[in-house]
Amino acid sequence: MQVRYPELDFSNTVPHWGASPEQSQVINAGNIIPAYIEPFLIKVMRKAKKELDPVADAQLIADMDIFNSQEAQHMKAHNEMLTIVRNKYPNMKPIEEAYAADYARFLAEKPLEWLLAYCEGFEAFGSNTAEVWLDGRMEGSIEGADPQVVAMFRWHLAEEYEHRTVAHRVFYRLGSSGGPVRTYFRRLAGLWNAATHMTGYSKQLEKFLIEADQANMSPEELRASKARHKQAKKVKAAPRFIAFLKILSPRYDPQNTPAPKNLDAVLALYS
């Protein structure tokens, strides 16, 4: 693993950066997740680091440091993109504030095992999404899109795959009390908590953005917009069903997740 610093230029990027306004807004809404979950991940890893043995866990600690540095770069990039959207739609801020408040509450109230399970669940979801952006599954829906935004997602998801084992290893190192069965169900609960929580906020933001765009449309424009939105929602940047089933397996280990075919080529652009 290594920390990369891609030179992304969003100076000409607009909220409707994709193949259609609705496709852009579906993906824009997803930007709320990394903008707020990445600092949460970093804080949880820092909290976990205090519980590790600096000698026995030296390699894991070193990997956690790289993980945190990568996530910090992801947060910065997605915050830039989210700012572009927010500047046009300032009334979206209450959704962001509620999402950020949840993470502050989790950090203050939840035990470390719960926090680590949530982080592991998010990372399992994210690393299995890498092939969606890297290997062409998104191509039809982002044709003609702003190349800077596409590059951001490809770089980010490539690194999600690269550091896919870190949160998993930390979870099993510090969050596996009570035996393998209890640990397995704790991990599944973390996956459920992460997936439902973060997608709940992205769906709220998607609804807000789409409705803001449609507010002053003519009946004909509105019908066309609804059709495009329906099509955009079919192209979800989520793991394939088979990949998701593997995450549910008691034997799941992200180390065994197949690499996207274009992983090395994408990472080489920024190494």
Q: Domain ranges for the chain, please list them.
A: 21-268
Predicted pLDDT of residue 236: 58
Residue 233 has pLDDT above 90, yes or no: no
Is the model more confident about 139 or about 224? 224
Residue 118 has pLDDT above 70, yes or no: yes
Q: How many CB atoms lie under 10 A from the CB of residue 161?
A: 22
Work out the pLDDT band at 141, boundaries 50, 70, 90: low
The answer as to CATH 1.20.910 being correct for domain 21-268 is yes
Q: Residue 88 is encoded by which pair of tokens?
A: 């046009």
Cα-to-chain-centroid distance, residue 242: 19
Predicted pLDDT of residue 128: 73
- E strand map for the chain: none
Q: How far apart are CA 67 and CA 65, in angstroms?
A: 5
Work out the pLDDT band at 245, boundaries 50, 70, 90: confident
Residue 136 has pLDDT above 90, yes or no: no
**pLDDT cut 70: percent of the chain above it:** 95
Residue 181 has pLDDT above 90, yes or no: yes
Mean pLDDT of the chain: 91
Give Dmax (Cα) for the chain.
Answer: 67
Predicted pLDDT of residue 64: 97
Predicted pLDDT of residue 271: 80
Predicted pLDDT of residue 135: 80
Q: Residue 237 is encoded by which pair of tokens?
A: 């940047």
Residue 238 has pLDDT above 60, yes or no: no
Q: How many residues does the chain have?
A: 271
Q: Which 3 state secondary structure label does DSSP give 171? A: helix
Work out the pLDDT band at 37, boundaries 50, 70, 90: very high
Q: Residue 84 is encoded by which pair of tokens?
A: 């572009």
Predicted pLDDT of residue 134: 82
The sign of the CA dihedral 181, 184, 188, 193 is: positive
Q: What is the pTM of this model?
A: 0.90
Work out the pLDDT band at 240, boundaries 50, 70, 90: low
Is residue 82 within 8 A of residue 31, CB to CB? The reply is: yes
- Identify the H or E element spanning 36: helix 32-49
